[in-house]
Structure 1
Amino acid sequence: MNAAENGGYIQSLQMAPGIKGKKITWINKNGILGFVESIILSQKEASEPFYILDLGLLINLVHKWAHDLPMIQPYYAVKCNPNIEFLGAMAALGFSFDCASRAEIETVMALGVSSDRIIFANPCKAESHIKYAASVGVNLTTFDSINEVRKIKRSHPECALLIRIKVMDDSTFRSPLSSKYGALPNEIESLLQAAQAAQLDVIGVSFHIGSGGNDVYAYRYAIAAAKEVFDTTVQLGMPKMKVLNIGGGFTADTHFNVAVMAIKEGISKHFSEEEGLIFMAEPGRYFAEKCFTLATNIIGKRVRGDLREYWITDGIYGSMNCIVNDHAVVTCSPLGTTSNPINPTCTNAELYKSTVFGPTCDAYDTISTSYWLPDLEVDDWLLFPNMGAYTSATGSNFNGFTTSSIPTILYYSNISCVNF
């Protein structure tokens, strides 16, 4: 992107819901440490954690998706990170959204997103939530059981449906989903017939290969399974399906390139003759994970021989719950504003094996027992990159440490392109 394009995006984002009126700082892609240090110094005695959100990186991830998968419309999975500034940016960029509850639908629509840009992508919904979706015109959802057909028939009979199918063993993925969702192959025909008998319009197939896995070729197997469902509807004399939703499971790394290849191969092999087919996806991690960095203050220190132990202002019951719930491996960089102000990155310091604890009174609140860090002091900081996926979204208020209150500071890094 050239400077004019970047300037246009910044202007657009500055007017975005959730962002309007907030400062966006332009920095060089290598200037993040200096930017964070300036924030810390400006806060003086403040020591609470904060996120920094890189809108420049987000723009580049959007461009890469559009370049590599131009035929697939992404519906951002709100559950991954419902940060209001992030959602506002996505809304301003014209994104559609995957919502799993009434609250998520309300949040997205409050940002000015129209109902036709929302899929209610939860295969099992409370009936009150289905009624709400009907009342605001959210007219696309997923199902994988007879009971869901009955609820939708009662509460939202005008809603179009995607049948969610189970397509593979995803037990090796960080977040497997098939044990909870997806119709088995021997259930599909009866579910389609039930929807047909209820006079509900099943317009396509949905699947999810699982989140955080490496077997991206699973997309090929899943697309092949979806084609069998398309063929089954024809055999049953139902209207021809027109939507294929390939779900999520995307990561912003080299696995994305392999996934793109597998998806294109699967579509070419099984759906090349399907005219007018609409392709959807539900990425969350791909867009959110790398755009957020978490800054945490060191509030306690203990030395036991060569071991260093530190307490910081966020932990396992907060943003770091991703270690437990998402099987994430988090890393950190020291910012020694107190112990080493001349060299804030501590790059030349001697390293010590270190344990890092969260702020709560529970010993389970241990982030790592094997970091190698310089000899830091209370009021120094640790920066955790790649903290945008299933972090603040699933944190708690245990011991009075409120994850949802962690503020977000906006910046726009000058990144010319994203290459995995």
Structure 2
Amino acid sequence: MKISTVEDERVHVLNNNSNVWSIIRDIVDTGTQEDAFYICDIGDIVQKHKIWKSAFPRVQPHYAVKCNDSLTVIEVLAALGTSFDCASKGEINKVLEIGVDPNRIIFANPAKPISHIRHAADVGVNTMTFDNEVELHKVKNLFPDAKMVIRIRCDAKVSQCPLGMKFGCNAETEAPHLLRVASELGLDVVGVSFHVGSGCGEPDVFRKAIALSRQIFDYAESLGYRFNLLDLGGGYPGDHSNSIFEIAEIINCALEDYFPDPSVHVIAEPGRFYVSSAYTLACNVHSIRGVATRDPVTEAPSTHYMYYINDGVYGSFNCVLYDHQHVVGLPLKEYPHSKLHSSSIWGPTCDGLDQVVEETLLPELHVGDWLIFENMGAYTLPVASPFNGFPVPKVHVVANEDIWMLLKDILPLTEDHFVIGTTPASLVKNMNVDRETDWVLPDLPITITLPICGDGTIIEEHVLEYVDVCPVAH
């Protein structure tokens, strides 16, 4: 199994009483850890899949690989039966290399390099999106048997990353013309896709987009097409709030109203929904600068504290610049009676723009303290760089006993890739740090009995029946 250079090669199987913060404390308490690091909780991803299947019973998820291209994430989701949204030749290869059938991939990039279209044809990734006439002619020349999906524009007024300025044709003025061109070229257009914007904050826009899609379906029928695919795109929140159920209610009602025919295959492209809350980042405070100021209310002399940590906007916190995320640093050490001070958090590089948090309230911290950032799994690591010589944080992957029992037979891993009964801190200090329980799991041999390249039906039923499965506690 090929492992990312920033990802721990082993999945640490922990008892069901473990939690992410205690795992971080174990690593920090070794006294040898200074670099920033992640904890990835596989159980959180499994839980999100259960939520998706419950909230969207008709919608097949195609995980957006661009969001977090960790092989562990891809393998877990493939084993659970999800399909994949890929935007490049590299992403396609990453998914195919673990044995996923190419029919479970949609090439959801309306502006594809020529070599990438050729590659999709060579490997059998047939379904792809378009939103302009030039793309139709490219595909006609390079992959005339492709199954095309027209992407329309329908932007949410509130989203973390609006996409309509770059992708998506106007449903009323451009889509009919493009469908006529596709028909004249003899291309097989099979459906409609849209993307309301990553991190959508306006759930009602999904109903509007689905209604517009219905219009495109009807117009296509007048040209002789029989569309059978509706792609709802992305925009689904990744935290543990209930907003996903609000979105689900709107989507499910709109599907019932506009697409009651069950022969229409409905898919979506969730990214951050699956991985955001599964990743927690721990950063070390290595420098502190106190700046004299005045209290904004009393005008009494005060101090603003600038905390410098060992990851910044050139690393994991690129999400602050490019994904417009609002991140919150929580002290690992408890300061229950300490006064809160005006503070800012800065990255380690020499760039003055390397600011993680502009203004927050924190107790007075000390060099060597740790700040914890939750919900850091989306659009962080894939974009991180070692600028200025600061390393990209390493990822420690964990799962509790229940998740291990669920996944051990369906993940394409060898026994060397699992560590049972220890936390990742054992890698830091080469010792078992489970000081409290000293528990032992029974021998759990790894056997590959279910393929991940099938339709996922058996696996999904197993997951949904396993009602007591929970992620590692936060």
Range of TM-score over shorter length: 0.7 to 0.9
Tell me the CA shift for residue 417 of structure 1. Answer: 6.1
1:142 & 1:100 partners in 2: Cα distance? 10
Of stretches 137-146 and 349-358 in structure 1, the one that deviates more from structure 2 is 349-358
Match of 1:376 among 362, 365, 371: 365
Match of 1:250 among 236, 243, 254: 236
Say whether residues 1:399 and 2:388 are aligned partners.
yes
Structure 2 partner of 1:206 = 193
Structure 2 partner of 1:98 = 85
1:29 & 1:171 partners in 2: Cα distance? 42
Alignment CA distance shift 1:251-1:381 (3 Å): same
Structure 2 partner of 1:48 = 35
Answer 1 or 2: higher relative contact order, Cα 8 Å, separation at least 6.
2
Match of 1:32 among 10, 14, 20: 20
Alignment CA distance shift 1:38-1:281 (3 Å): same
Amino acid at match of 1:241: F
Structure 1 partner of 2:259 = 271
2:12 & 2:32 partners in 1: Cα distance? 23
* Structure 1 contact 346–374 (Cα < 8 Å) conserved: yes
Within 5 Å, which residues of 2 pair with 1:130-279? 130-167=117-154, 169-184=155-170, 185-236=172-223, 238-252=224-238, 253-272=241-260, 274-279=261-266
Of stretches 407-416 and 128-137 in structure 1, the one that deviates more from structure 2 is 407-416
Within 5 Å, which residues of 2 pair with 1:288-367? 288-305=275-292, 306-335=303-332, 344-367=333-356
Alignment CA distance shift 1:158-1:242 (3 Å): same
Structure 1 partner of 2:448 = none
TM-score (norm 1): 0.88
Tell me the CA shift for residue 271 of structure 1. Answer: 1.1
Alignment CA distance shift 1:17-1:307 (3 Å): closer
Alignment CA distance shift 1:346-1:33 (3 Å): farther
Amino acid at match of 1:170: A
2:80 & 2:145 partners in 1: Cα distance? 29
1:331 & 1:195 partners in 2: Cα distance? 48
1:159 & 1:144 partners in 2: Cα distance? 15
2:21 & 2:97 partners in 1: Cα distance? 34
Alignment CA distance shift 1:219-1:362 (3 Å): same
1:59 & 1:395 partners in 2: Cα distance? 25
Tell me the CA shift for residue 361 of structure 1. Answer: 0.3
Structure 2 partner of 1:70 = 57
Amino acid at match of 1:368: V
Aligned length: 390
* Structure 2 contact 8–396 (Cα < 8 Å) conserved: no
Give SS of 1:327's match.
coil
Structure 2 partner of 1:111 = 98
Match of 1:284 among 271, 281, 290: 271
Structure 2 partner of 1:11 = none
Give SS of 2:317's match.
helix
Amino acid at match of 2:367: V
2:384 & 2:69 partners in 1: Cα distance? 12
* Structure 1 contact 17–111 (Cα < 8 Å) conserved: no
Alignment identity in percent? 37
Tell me the CA shift for residue 30 of structure 1. Answer: 7.1
Amino acid at match of 2:200: G
After superposition, give the CA deviation of every residue in 1:180-203 in whole Å (9 maximum; x if it has no partner): 111112111221121112221101
Match of 2:376 among 387, 390, 398: 387
After superposition, give the CA deviation of every residue in 1:365-396 in whole Å (9 maximum; x if it has no partner): 11123222222222221110001111122223
1:370 & 1:246 partners in 2: Cα distance? 36
Give SS of 1:319's match.
coil
Of stretches 140-149 and 245-254 in structure 1, the one that deviates more from structure 2 is 245-254
How large is the Cα RMSD of the aligned pairs?
2.2
* Structure 1 contact 160–201 (Cα < 8 Å) conserved: yes
1:17 & 1:330 partners in 2: Cα distance? 28
* Structure 2 contact 59–266 (Cα < 8 Å) conserved: yes
TM-score (norm 2): 0.78
1:346 & 1:148 partners in 2: Cα distance? 58
1:59 & 1:263 partners in 2: Cα distance? 22
Give SS of 2:25's match.
helix
2:216 & 2:22 partners in 1: Cα distance? 54
1:74 & 1:109 partners in 2: Cα distance? 17
Alignment CA distance shift 1:357-1:412 (3 Å): same
After superposition, give the CA deviation of every residue in 1:265-285 in whole Å (9 maximum; x if it has no partner): 11111111x241101000001
